[in-house]
Amino acid sequence: MISRRVNDIEYAIRDIAVIANQVEQKGKKIYRLNIGDPLKYDFITPPFISDALAKVSHDGKNFYADSLGVLELRKEISKFLKNKKKIDVTHDDILVTAGVTEGIYFLLAALIERGEEFLIPGPTYPLYINNTKFYDGIPVEYELDENEGWDPNIDDMRKKITNKTQGILICSPNNPTGGIFSSEKVKQIIDLAGEYNLPILSDEIYDQITYEKEYVSPVSLSKDVPVIAMNGFSKSDLMTGWRLGYLYYHDPENKLTELKEGMAKLARARLSASSIAQYAAIEIFRTKSDHTKELVRKLKERRDYSYNRIRKIEGISCVNANGAFYLFPKIDFNEFDRWDNDKDFVIDLLKETGVCSVYGSGFGDFGKGHIRLTFLPNKDILEEVYDHIENFLK
Ligand SMILES: Cc1ncc(COP(=O)(O)O)c(C=O)c1O
């Protein structure tokens, strides 16, 4: 006995891990390049943040927090947005969540009625597909054009807006492509959203993990179109397991008043995000630290190494990542008779070499024919991984 809505949930990133565990039990070494968690590799939470966690717990901050989030933390986030990103939102515009994940659940719960549509990039993070369906809505993918560095195809987006569309998602830097949407395309999306009176949801979890290309936030480009931006501490502060994030509303014309009230109701109904995580996170804003810069420096080396290995493999092509920590190469199935789809390829690669990647179709229809590989492991491990992939394809 299980509801249809739960039965239909698919999450390729973790579903493939089940097969990896079976292969591991047979004695094979597994290279887990499927999960976007730096802490599973040689990255650690900065010690001053861990120390802050222990301290606030000893200091007795172990109660349920305010449902909207600890006030001091929301004030620090507001100051940070103003100083670092020139974004003007007060603490009243900020809601602290248990990771961006909870923000996504809340927003789609509040926005989507049965049969309504939500426009998402194709390919993108599977949670958006799952959660839209979970609330009986229809995820509609607009194309990210691989030939244009995975920039959005605005004509395709326009064609897909209907009277059932409830919002448009921007996810930049994007998972799984590593692409950063160009400012021109973001402006065009904002104009389109304005034309159809739609809110924009902006997933900015990777906004501090960028390489050559500059990231510009949709909020800073939008005058009057409402944007709900989601961000968190998981990736840039190396705190994936803490489950802490936030969202904020850019709403100069007060179009989101009802939505904000609904979101606050949802927040109250789940009591609060972790109080000790919130009190400890305040220290991140009050302490000078280069941990994010250092993370990006290491990741860039690993990206460069991975990209240089991949692009030399025959039958695979790859757009380099501008942000996040994934490469999303395309497999030319005309070159290889043995497989005709990404899922079979990924499973065979895993069984034969122990390299665990994620099949691109797990990120929506536009991901078909691709695989996602993180470049989180250190160079020695990456070297083994790419030797294996090369030999496998020979
Ligand atoms: C695009 C994107 N959004 C959200 C999340 C989840 O973030 P959080 O840990 O804050 O829930 C991830 C995790 O991989 C992600 O890739």
Residue 175 Cβ contacting ligand 1 at under 6 Å: yes
pLDDT band at 11, cuts 50/70/90?
confident
| 228: nearest Cα among 256, 209, 261, 268 | 256
- Retrieve residue 188's tokens: 């065009």
pLDDT digits (tens, 9 = 90+) for 167-180: 999 999 999 999 99
Q: How confident is the model over 373-394, as a mean pLDDT?
A: 96
Q: 15 burial class (0-12, 13-18, 19+ CB within 10 angstroms)?
A: middle
Rounded distance between C-alpha atoms, residue 34 and residue 37, angstroms? 9
User: Across the strands, what pairs with 142?
Assistant: 121
User: What DSSP letter does each residue of 23-72 carry, written as one string?
Assistant: HHHTT---EE-S---GGGTT----HHHHHHHHHHHHTT--SPPPTT--HH
Q: pLDDT value at position 14?
A: 77
Residue 389 predicted with pLDDT over 90:
yes
Rounded distance between C-alpha atoms, residue 59 and residue 69, angstroms? 18
Please give the number of the atom of ligand 1 that sits closest to the Cα of 240. Answer: 9
**Do 135 and 126 contact (CB within 8 A), yes or no?**
no
- Residue nearest (by alpha carbon) to ligand 1 atom 14: 36
Q: Which CATH class is domain 47-286?
A: alpha beta
Ligand 1 geometric centre to CA of 205 (Å): 6
Please give the number of the atom of ligand 1 that sits closest to the Cα of 324. Answer: 16
Residue 234 Cβ contacting ligand 1 at under 6 Å: yes
Please give the number of the atom of ligand 1 that sits closest to the Cα of 244. Answer: 10
Residue 203 Cβ contacting ligand 1 at under 6 Å: yes
Q: pLDDT value at position 13?
A: 79
Round the CA-based radius of gyration of the chain to a whole number and report it: 21
Residue 274 Cβ contacting ligand 1 at under 6 Å: no
Domains 4-44+291-393 and 47-286 share a fold: no
- From residue 316, alpha-carbon distances to 234, 254, 381 in Å are 31, 48, 20
| Weakest-pLDDT range from 2-11, 118-127, 149-158 | 2-11
Q: pLDDT value at position 335?
A: 85
pLDDT digits (tens, 9 = 90+) for 42-71: 999 999 999 999 999 999 999 999 999 999
91: phi then psi, degrees, rounded to nearest 5:
-60, -25
Residue 101 Cβ contacting ligand 1 at under 6 Å: yes
pTM: 0.96
Rounded distance between C-alpha atoms, residue 93 and residue 57, angstroms? 27
Domain range summary for the chain, segments of one domain joined by +: 4-44+291-393, 47-286
Q: pLDDT value at position 40?
A: 94
Residue 242 Cβ contacting ligand 1 at under 6 Å: no
pLDDT digits (tens, 9 = 90+) for 251-308: 999 999 999 999 999 999 999 999 999 999 999 999 999 999 999 999 999 999 999 9
Ligand 1 geometric centre to CA of 336 (Å): 33
pLDDT band at 7, cuts 50/70/90?
confident
pLDDT digits (tens, 9 = 90+) for 18-29: 999 999 999 999
- Residue nearest (by alpha carbon) to ligand 1 atom 4: 100
Residue 367 Cβ contacting ligand 1 at under 6 Å: no
Which of 3.40.50.300, 1.10.3720.10, 3.90.1150.10, 3.30.420.280 would CATH assign to domain 4-44+291-393?
3.90.1150.10
